Amino acid sequence: MKKITEADWDRLIKEERYDEDVVYAKKIFWNKTDKEIMESFESGTGYIERCDELRYMPDELFNYYYHYFPTFVMEGTYDYLEDPSVAGSFMQLLGEKLKSHSFYYAELLALANKVLDFILDNIDKFNTDPDIFGDFLPKIETLKADIKIYPITRH
């Protein structure tokens, strides 16, 4: 995976016709340390905002920064009351990005699968609000099946 440069950000912002979401995402992700990015996920419900930024990023940026969200889900320090929201946000983003064929690298899909296994292994912790987020078990099954047949076409 090639390193994202400021020139890449600026080119993609220009291609997106100066999309405000991408401009804002640059302030959050560009030239930040891993620790700073992870802290931005962990501050309050920052993960919801980071999820939206990943959602609206051009695919090139998404593929570069996506790994922070799975890492946050598996290692992040968030309140147990946020467990269903964290898992639900992750799965919704994953489903959208699979449908839009946004993933360029098999390693990112393997990481997504690892997070789904983590959620499944801790299903009693994450699946506590099915009235709000739906039942995670069928969602996990669908996402795992979609990952299994996902065509990696770019590198």
pLDDT tens over the chain, length 155 residues = 789 999 999 999 988 776 788 999 999 999 999 999 999 999 888 999 999 999 999 999 999 999 999 999 999 788 889 999 999 999 999 999 999 999 999 999 999 999 999 999 999 999 998 888 889 999 999 999 999 999 987 65
Question: Tokens for 130?
Answer: 């099915």
> How much is the pTM?
0.93
Three-point CA angle 19, 49, 76, nearest 5° = 140
pLDDT 10s digits, 69-90: 999 999 978 888 999 999 999 9
Question: What single string gives the DSSP state of each residue in 48-68?
Answer: HHHHHHHHHS-HHHHHHHTTH
Three-point CA angle 82, 121, 110, nearest 5° = 95
Beta strands of the chain (E only): which ranges? none
